[in-house]
Structure 1
Amino acid sequence: MKNTIILICSLFLFSCSSDDIKKPTQVKTIVISGDNTLNGTPKQLTVVIQPNDAVNKEVTWSVSDPAIAAITETGLLTGIKNGTVKVTATAKDGSGVTAEKTYTVSGITEPTIFVESVSIPAATITNGQPLQLTVQVAPANATNKTLTWSTSSQAMATISQEGLLTPKLNGTVVVTATTTDGSGKSTQIEITVSGVTAVYNTAVRSESILIWQRSNGGWGKAVADLNLYNTEQTAQQKATALASKNNTDTTIDNGHVVTELRWLLADYKTTNNPNYLLAAEKAIDWLFLAQYANGGWPQYYPDKSGYRHQITYNDGAIANVMNVMWDIIKGKNNLELVNPKYKDKAVTSFNKGIDIILQTQITYKGKKTVWCAQHDEVTLKPALARAYELPTFSGSESVGIVRVLMLVEQPSADVKQAVKDAVEWFNGAKLFDIATKKITDSSQPSGQDVIVVASPGSVLWARFYDLENNLPLFCGRDGIPKKTLAEIENERRVGYSWYGNWPNGLIGSEYSNWKAKHGL
């Protein structure tokens, strides 16, 4: 029997085509924005890169004549003397794509003297009070000594552009001072803060969330029902949470991490308690760390035992994370409250996520369709999770994935086609004139049952469709696929969502509006 199960699962695993697994999308064009003039004030250059879903949009900057102008790694162009200079932006993704623009430098009456070094004398805060930081810039006759200041965590401390550091929590914070003259010089200092006695407002929900947050920034499933965070934790729960702080079972399954960090930010907005912001940012750091290089996220991190290592769309896991990245990028839904440094990282993370979504879209009979609830992170093939979660087409999880693709503001041809193909699959996978009904049945172990009944005019979708024939598939804990719900054990019939109307809104007005928005 065991060999039979393995054979069946293997057939499902390899029945989808591998012909269309694509390489990561590379840069095709670069355009340097803005006009081509430069006076005595440094100019921040930016680029427009196509396609929009290129995975790596970073560029390397260079100038043709360093005697005329200098440019930093981030594209800050500074004139040194009057003349013309060619600026080149080169894609970092190995595509070899470049863009060039010639700038006319004028209005410089004296030679520019760049900052050669900048340092901040050692400092600590022991009384919890604001501290004015000083900075040493060399040479003393540098043309532009203006600096920009930032902290590693605005939850720990904020800093003004004059260098006044205001602590909020005890601990350590890294302060960075960066030149604005185009020299690209910067310095950092770690400052230990103590003596902060401020008492902040609290919220029961976030206090409970803080108790259960792991040391790595994520959460496990110790609080399985997220609504239980709304209850003050008992002494025993607090002790259990403390003892499990270093556990590695942190997960994005069942809404974890994403839900906790969103609730923390919502409570931070109403209480101004920096502990909540700090915890939310630790969770975001965990999300960045957990992402695979190819753009996917495992169900658990760092524990990748069993099927936990797979790229997991199940129960909206990756879609939830992608929506967090999108909100960081757009500065909305309270994600505007986090450290601005996250925006660039979120852009990269989101673009990589879009790319892996495109790569894992399943091909069936030469045509793209939808996605499996989980994919192998190496082969990208549909993969087995729990015994009753076989490699299949997902009629549920694929809905959230398509909605993520539809977020892309300037979708490439590949993104547009992926959405179109998925919607066509949803339309072709409709199940007509049936419904599910939960009934009381004392003969069953659970005392109830779920049955399929006739329902003229109804439209449903199955949770799973087999990869060989694209037909509804049902499976119990024995791991053997069945054709009907009635064939699996009662515990799985009543304990899992096998039918639903998940794609209804997506394939209706949402898709129509999306097509109209993009002129399709």
Structure 2
Amino acid sequence: MVKAVPGATDLAMLIAGLLLLPGLLPGADAAEALTASAGETDLWQQPGAMSADWQAYQQQSAADATRLQQQLQTELAAAKLTAPLPALKAKNFGLNGIDNPAALNAVLSYQTVLGGWSKRTDMQQVRKPGQLAGSEPAYIPTFDNGATSTQMRWLAAYYLQASAVEQAKIRTALTQAVQFVLRAQYPNGGFPQSYPLRGGYHDAVTLNDNVMTDLLNLLWDLANQPDYQWLAADLRASAQAGFAKGVAWLVSAQVVVDGKRTVWTAQHHPLTGAPVAARKFEQISLVSSESAAVLQLLLDKALDKAREQKPSSPGVLPALCSGIAWLQQHQIRDKVWQRHDTGSKLVEKKGAQIWARFYSLPQQQPVFFDRDGQVYSDVNQLSLERQQGYGWYQTNAKGVLKAWRKKPELAAQCGQIGGK
């Protein structure tokens, strides 16, 4: 379990202190959220050398980044280009899925040599030699905004209707993609936002926008769902092992405040699991929607596995009990959030349920951040641009609470263990 960190301490000094003793958890007491952006912090600074597995991971990442560049340079030389052609930008890749050979070939053409795909990139037409594989070069490839996991699911969904030749292409592409996901997974089970590593908060274990949960759901499906049964057995076994390792990380990273488990933050330090910030309007804070996605994953796919045998993550049920209780306690009832031309406001609506996107540490109260990093307790104190351009209140947690109500036997067990 990860405990909330003291806010008066510089992040780099804090991380350095945490790493003096291997396995030491972050600070004992919760405090104010740090205001320094992790985008301005080297998450890998520490005294002494990293362990061998982490050193190997960083060397692998650097080599893979070089491999990407070499592949592009090879294409540029073959096409006699002095600069890469830009990729077109598109929401949702310009596609809703693969349903014909042309779409298949186009999506496959954007798979990078490492096995992943990029975000915000139009993949309706076959990529030209020397053309970038993504509209944003820094995110080639990535897991952000559903990239890579989306293409993998599309390929599997199309497989049964594909021709024999197309199926062979899909098997090759999906095998490489699974290997890429497992290669990107940190030694402790977490996932960065992008791989190869690109620095700053992008290297944090990323729950924001459900990066981590999307990948773990995918790994579980790869190992267990019939849509992927044609994959090699050893690859499916590796996917199951990657899933178990990721679940173990989630259980260990659940933030503890005053000795009690709460939920998770949007980003956690790759080495220590401590909460870290991202952009200035995404400071350290507990998150409702991404935590709800974690709890749904544990409820649907981790709990039964933990019961069938000696659990790799024995804290799954306590994590669920505490997380569900936290969401129940921090919901805002009978109100909805409305945005308008001059700001936003909470409006009475009987029976409604919402949650703030962010909750402060250690107070666990709704908190809001502007682009300059200023912290506010009222959304109306934000600049108009931030009020209108960000989802400060959300309803995502309703789904897991509804699912939890259908499991009264689990709630009874929570009472027996005290949710600890």
Q: Give me the TM-score of the superposition, normalised by structure 1.
A: 0.56
Equivalent residues of 1:9, 1:391 under 8 A apart: no
Higher RCO (CA-CA < 8 Å; seq separation 6+): 2
Counterpart of 2:265? Answer: 372
Q: Give the residue type in structure 2 aligned to 1:206.
A: L
Q: How many residues align?
A: 317
Equivalent residue for 1:208? Answer: 106
The residue aligned with 1:276 is: 170
1:519 is displaced (CA, Å) by 7.2
Supply the distance in 1 between the matched residues of 2:137 and 2:368 (Cα, whole angstroms): 38
Distance 1:245 1:341 in 2: 34
**Cα distance change of structure 1 residues 329 and 19 upon mapping to structure 2, 3 Å threshold:** farther
Query: Which residue in 1 is equivalent to 2:140?
Result: 249
Distance 1:381 1:307 in 2: 13
User: Aligned equivalents of 2:297 and 2:146: distance in 1?
Assistant: 16
Q: Secondary structure at the match of 2:200?
A: coil
Q: Which residue of 1 aligns with 2:386?
A: 492
- Give 3-state SS (helix, strand or coil) of 2:140's partner: coil
**Letter in structure 2 aligned against 1:417:** P
Whether the 8 Å CA contact 2:142–2:194 is kept in 1: the answer is yes
Aligned equivalent of 1:323, options 203, 207, 217: 217
The one-letter code matched in structure 2 to 1:329 is: A
- The answer to whether the Cα contact below 8 Å between 1:9 and 1:390 also exists between their aligned partners in 2 is no
Within 5 A, what are the aligned runs for 1:320-469? 320-332=214-226, 334-406=227-299, 407-408=301-302, 409-411=304-306, 413-439=314-340, 441=341, 449-469=343-363
Q: CA deviation at 1:8?
A: 9.2
Counterpart of 1:415 in structure 2: which amino acid? V
The letter of the residue matching 2:390 is Y
| Alpha-carbon separation, structure 2, partners of 1:450 and 1:213 | 41
**In structure 2, distance between residues paired with 1:458 and 1:517:** 25
Tell me, which stretches of 5 or more residues in structure 2 are unaligned?
1-6, 16-24, 30-98, 414-420
8 Å CA contact 2:111–2:133 kept in 1: the answer is no
| Aligned residues of 1:258 and 1:324 also touching (Cα < 8 A) | yes
Identity, % of aligned positions: 27
**Higher helix fraction (1 or 2):** 2
Contact 1:212-1:245 within 8 A present in 2 as well: no
- Is the 2:205–2:267 Cα contact (8 Å) retained in structure 1? yes
SS state at 2:406 partner:
helix
Residue type at the aligned position of 1:401? V
Report the counterpart of residue 292 of structure 1 in structure 2.
186
Distance (whole Å) between structure 2 residues aligned to residue 460 and residue 213 of structure 1: 38
Q: Which has the higher strand share?
A: 1
Query: What SS is found at the alignment partner of 1:337?
Result: coil
Deviation at 1:428, TM superposition (A): 0.8
Structure-1 separation of matches of 2:265 and 2:398:
19
Question: 1:214–1:244: 8 Å Cα contact kept in structure 2?
Answer: no
Distance 2:210 2:134 in 1: 30
Structure 1 alignment gaps of length 5 or more: 1-5, 21-200
Q: CA deviation at 1:450?
A: 3.7
The 8 Å contact of residues 118 and 133 in structure 2, kept in 1 or not, is answered as no
Separation in 2 of the partners of 1:489 and 1:213?
40
Give the Cα separation in 1 of the matches to 2:212 and 2:189.
10
Give the SS at the match of 1:347.
Answer: helix
Contact 2:339 2:387 in 1 (8 A): no
Using the alignment, how far apart are the partners of 2:184 and 2:324 within structure 1?
30
3-state SS of the aligned residue for 2:150?
A: helix
For 1:435 and 1:326, locate their aligned partners in 2 and report how far apart those are by CA, in whole Å: 35
Which residue in the other structure is 2:117 paired with? 219
Letter in 2 for 1:429: H
Cα gap change, 1:344 to 1:455, in 2 (>3 Å)? same
Residue of structure 1 in register with 2:38 after alignment: none
Largest Rg, 1 or 2: 1
What is the rounded CA distance, in whole Å, between the counterparts of 1:518 and 1:458 in structure 2?
23
